Amino acid sequence: MIYNKVALIGLGLIASSIFWSAKRGGLVGQVSGYARSAATRDTARRIGLCDVVCDTAADAVADADLVILCVPVGAMGAVAEEIRPFLKPGAVISDVGSVKKAVIEAVQPHIPEGAHFIPAHPLAGTEHSGPESGFAELFDNRWCLLVPVEGSDPAKVAELRAFWEALGANVEEMDAEHHDLVLAVTSHTPHLIAYTMVGVADDLRRVTDSEVIKYSAAGFRDFTRIAASDPTMWRDVFMTNKEATLEILGRFTEELFALQRAIRTGDGDLLFDYFTRTRAIRRGIIDAGQDTDAPNFGRAAGRK
């Protein structure tokens, strides 16, 4: 057993999946949980999420060897400040935020002498959120990125790595700046674009009634899944990974305008070459085991 007691602060999709996965593997003696909302705490108690659900963050972190902050990025600093006086000496504090530079800036000043702050980011999620959306398999064969800060104790980093591997994840380490750029490409900009496309369609829906929904299987529906993600979480991501997101967005619009111009001028060769090049990257993702090769992601069509 790597940790005797783990405290989960915030009880949404990620925290609940950590709990169920830790239970599956028998990884932790006790998991305590806390959520700011009384309704969330009630739901957690009802479904058996966490061994004990506490009414204060202070109670939850008492005696915990590992405290994982599972709140939106914009709330991390305040939570770290709140729990500071109640941390066990030598405790490890980690998080699951999608942005790392801003979280480190917000949390690091509140880490007491002797405690260890090791930021982390599991690259896993679904279109559902809240305490009831978690499941034990969420991290299986997904990546968890550890972002050790200046002076992180290598032995404590190794323990946290072993914990995430036991939850089912593959683990890599990288620095915060690089993390935020890689995620701007693989996650933040795609989400913003998906939200935008769905917003455009939503405007047009008023014109064309429900046709946008009815005929969504032609491509559009794949955008709606990621555009259904938690609004608070994503607002905070864009507020805190501003620089990298704006850089990738700049490149995106540059490319988009080149393709738009090719459409306008009838340059079919440019489009054909572009569409051929992008096909290869899909193959790479399948080969890397990060998606299914089954048609339509293996969705069942359901006969009439």
Closest CA to 191 of 227, 153, 219, 238: 227
8 Å CB contact between 3 and 161: no
CB of residue 241 to a copy of itself, shortest distance in Å: 9
Nearest to 102 by CA among 8, 19, 180: 180
Q: Which is nearer to a copy of itself, 43 or 229 (CB)?
A: 229
- State the minimum distance, in angstroms, from the CB of residue 47 to a copy of itself: 16
Q: Work out how close the CB of 161 gets to a copy of itself at its nearest, in angstroms, rounded to a whole number.
A: 14
Report how far residue 35's alpha carbon sits from residue 42's, in angstroms, rounded to the nearest whole number.
10
At its nearest, how many Å lie between a copy of itself and the CB of residue 13? 9
Tell me whether residue 114 or residue 250 sits nearer to a copy of itself (CB atom): 250
Closer by beta carbon to a copy of itself, 64 or else 145: 145
Closer CB to a copy of itself, residue 151 or residue 278? 278
User: Closest separation between CB of residue 64 and a copy of itself, Å?
Assistant: 27
Q: Give me the least distance between CB of 50 and a copy of itself, in Å please.
A: 21
Closest residue by Cα to residue 96 from 160, 52, 5? 160
For a copy of itself, the closer of residues 4 and 260 by Cβ is 260
Tokens of 293: 């090769």
**Shorter beta-carbon distance to a copy of itself: residue 19 or 238:** 238
Neighbours of 141 (CB within 10 A): 11
Q: Give the rounded distance of the alpha carbon of 266 from its chain centre.
A: 40
Which candidate, 106, 104, 105, 109, places its Cα nearest to that of 119?
104
The DSSP bridge pattern shows strands 170-173 and 28-34 to be unpaired
Q: How far apart are the first and last CA of the chain?
A: 51
User: What's the CA gap between 53 and 76, in Å, rounded?
Assistant: 20
